[in-house]
């Protein structure tokens, strides 16, 4: 029990009847009393027609998200805002929908309010736990609800997009190339773009949970993408190719990854249940063309090169790290964690600092445009405009003027490099 209580972060999923569905730490018997107390508190406020959204107990903040017959609970001692924890619970809920679909979930509970959902969700616990652990470690992607792209020249990305369109199978709905855990190219219908939450679900399944066989393996996966359509299934063909770069620095791996990200993944999504061989042929044609025109070599080189250091972006800069989010593209870019944030603990503290800055910018009703933070070790800046959000960290001895000047240099660099660091538009058919 003491070990369970020492956890900094925990997630519970319960049915509205109080049945445990998922618990990140501790078995049902160990934490039955805690589950009972949480369920009693939730029920008390539901009966009062004033659903509870969160409460504090000691050092822990409890945030509750009610979705139909499910109550999702985040318990955190990491100082995150309610909004940030609620976003994490939304992701866990979408992970459940990706397995069951919304109509199936509602039908089960309509037939029997005390349904035990653990059996229908069997096998999904790995994905939920991987997602939960990613939130605990800290993920820029989750914090910003955005994705990171692999840095490529505009002409190189256009060449990849053109091949993607040229080799497109008739029943293809969406296609993605992901390398080093970062997005390389997307092909999509003109009227539909992939929801960021759906992309994060896919990334979690492939890179975080390790539930899909890597190392040249191929898979055919039925899944629901709730942001696209929460009532039915799509079918995803997945194929992995090795980058052959076992010596690449672990620092250059995105924080959302568990070690499978030194590979290139080709993801082809179709509504056709019988489309496996059609999409496999498309994969073969796509790889052949990418190899033929040198695009595959460009992708592998970009993965090996990794992220730039802050000093590569702005020589002599005072910045130790930054994250720039393009609001229109729903994508972000950031430099290498090296040399200042080498360990997992260093990175967790960095993401916690970013989470604090993010919370200050997005606290309602007072929407700030600029927020400065100071501590013994760091001075920090959060800056938002209709076009971007920027979060920057410098040593505590840095002046505000120097930090502002460094932030402006980052903005100028992103404007110059925009078509390299972001996918703008993608390949559309």
138-148 pLDDT per residue, tens: 889 889 989 99
pLDDT at 246: 42
Instruction: Name beta bridge partners: 76.
Output: 9, 61
How far is Cα 425 from Cα 161, in angstroms, rounded to an integer? Answer: 10
Average pLDDT in the 319-346 region? 94
More confident residue, 12 or 111: 12
Given a cut of 50, is residue 252 above it in pLDDT?
no
Is residue 267 within 8 A of residue 176, CB to CB? The reply is: yes
Give me 100's structure tokens: 């069951």
Q: Are residues 96 and 196 in the same domain?
A: no
pLDDT at 174: 94
pLDDT at 215: 43
Given a cut of 80, is residue 212 above it in pLDDT?
no
Q: Are residues 158 and 290 in the same domain?
A: yes
pLDDT band at 17 (very low <50, low <70, confident <90, very high): confident
Residue 427 lies inside a defined structural domain of this protein = no
Residue 190 lies inside a defined structural domain of this protein = yes
Residue 426 lies inside a defined structural domain of this protein = no
How far is Cα 107 from Cα 126, in angstroms, rounded to an integer? Answer: 24
How far is Cα 124 from Cα 118, in angstroms, rounded to an integer? Answer: 9
Is residue 142 within 8 A of residue 358, CB to CB? The reply is: no
What domain count does the chain have?
Answer: 3
Q: Are residues 282 and 401 in the same domain?
A: no
Residue 142 lies inside a defined structural domain of this protein = no
Q: Are residues 175 and 66 in the same domain?
A: no
Residue 207 lies inside a defined structural domain of this protein = yes
Q: Are residues 215 and 282 in the same domain?
A: yes
pLDDT at 115: 79
Q: Are residues 329 and 409 in the same domain?
A: yes
pLDDT band at 248 (very low <50, low <70, confident <90, very high): very low
- Residues of 107-121 as b/e, b for ≥16 C-beta within 10 angstroms? ebbeeeeebebeebb
| Domain CATH code at residue 291 | 3.30.450.30
Among 89, 110, 137, the domain-final residue is 137
Q: Are residues 346 and 381 in the same domain?
A: yes
Q: Are residues 318 and 402 in the same domain?
A: yes
pLDDT at 244: 66
Helix (DSSP H) and strand (DSSP E) numbers for the chain: 13, 17
Q: Are residues 129 and 158 in the same domain?
A: no
Residue 253 lies inside a defined structural domain of this protein = no
Average pLDDT in the 243-259 region? 44
Residue 251 lies inside a defined structural domain of this protein = no
pLDDT band at 196 (very low <50, low <70, confident <90, very high): confident
Read off the pTM.
0.85
pLDDT at 247: 42
Q: Are residues 355 and 241 in the same domain?
A: no
pLDDT at 261: 54
Residue 173 lies inside a defined structural domain of this protein = yes
Is residue 258 within 8 A of residue 130, CB to CB? The reply is: yes
* Residue 286, φ and ψ in degrees, nearest 5: -65, -45
Least confident of 1-15, 222-236, 331-345, 388-402: 1-15
Q: Could you read off the pLDDT of 343-368 as tens digits, one per residue?
A: 989 999 999 999 999 998 888 776 78
How far is Cα 22 from Cα 19, in angstroms, rounded to an integer? Answer: 9
pLDDT at 253: 42
pLDDT band at 130 (very low <50, low <70, confident <90, very high): confident
* Parent domain of 1: 1-137
pLDDT band at 151 (very low <50, low <70, confident <90, very high): very high
How far is Cα 210 from Cα 222, in angstroms, rounded to an integer? Answer: 17
pLDDT at 121: 82
Given a cut of 90, is residue 180 above it in pLDDT?
no
Among 104, 137, 170, the domain-final residue is 137
Return the beta strands (E) in 243-347 as ranges.
263-270, 321-326, 331-333
Percent of the chain whose pLDDT exceeds 90: 53
Given a cut of 50, is residue 257 above it in pLDDT?
no
| Domain CATH code at residue 319 | 3.30.450.60
Contacts of 385 (CB under 8 A, 6+ apart): 369
Q: Are residues 129 and 18 in the same domain?
A: yes
Q: Are residues 195 and 58 in the same domain?
A: no
| Domain CATH code at residue 52 | 3.30.450.50
């Amino acid at each position: 029990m003491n070990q369970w209580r020492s956890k900094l972060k925990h997630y519970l999923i319960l049915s509205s009847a109080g049945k445990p569905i998922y618990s990140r730490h501790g078995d049902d018997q160990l934490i039955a009393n805690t589950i009972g107390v949480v369920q009693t508190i939730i029920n008390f406020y539901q009966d009062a027609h004033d659903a509870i959204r969160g409460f504090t107990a000691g050092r822990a903040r409890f945030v509750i998200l009610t979705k139909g017959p499910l109550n999702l609970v985040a318990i955190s001692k990491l100082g995150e805002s309610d909004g940030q924890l609620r976003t994490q619970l939304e992701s866990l809920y979408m992970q459940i929908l990706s397995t069951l679909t919304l109509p199936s979930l509602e039908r089960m509970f309509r037939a029997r309010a005390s349904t035990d959902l653990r059996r229908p969700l069997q096998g999904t616990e790995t994905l939920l736990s991987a997602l939960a652990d990613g939130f605990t470690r800290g993920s820029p992607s989750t914090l910003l609800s955005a994705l990171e792209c692999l840095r490529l020249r505009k002409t190189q990305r256009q060449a990849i997009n053109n091949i993607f369109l040229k080799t497109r199978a008739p029943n293809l709905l969406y296609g993605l190339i992901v390398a080093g855990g970062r997005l390389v190219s997307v092909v999509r219908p003109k009227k539909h773009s992939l929801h960021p939450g759906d992309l994060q679900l896919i990334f979690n399944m492939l890179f975080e949970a390790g539930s899909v066989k890597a190392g040249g393996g191929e898979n055919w996966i039925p899944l629901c993408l709730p942001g696209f359509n929460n009532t039915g299934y799509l079918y995803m063909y997945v194929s992995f190719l090795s980058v052959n770069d076992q010596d690449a620095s672990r620092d250059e791996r995105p924080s959302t990854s568990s070690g499978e990200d030194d590979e290139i993944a080709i993801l082809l999504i179709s509504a056709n249940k019988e489309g496996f061989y059609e999409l496999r042929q498309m994969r073969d044609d796509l790889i052949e063309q990418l190899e033929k025109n040198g695009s595959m070599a460009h992708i592998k080189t970009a993965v090996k090169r990794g992220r730039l250091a802050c000093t590569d972006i702005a020589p002599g800069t005072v910045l130790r790290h930054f994250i720039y989010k393009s609001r229109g593209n729903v994508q972000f870019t950031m430099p290498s964690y090296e040399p200042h944030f080498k360990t997992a603990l260093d990175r967790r503290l960095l993401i916690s600092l970013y989470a604090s800055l993010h919370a200050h910018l997005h606290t309602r009703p007072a929407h700030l445009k600029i927020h400065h933070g100071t501590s013994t070790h760091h001075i920090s800046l959060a800056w938002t405009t209709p076009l971007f959000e920027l979060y920057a960290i410098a040593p505590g001895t840095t002046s505000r003027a120097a930090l502002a000047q460094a932030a402006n240099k980052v903005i100028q660099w992103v404007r110059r490099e925009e078509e390299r660091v972001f996918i703008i538009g993608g390949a559309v058919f």
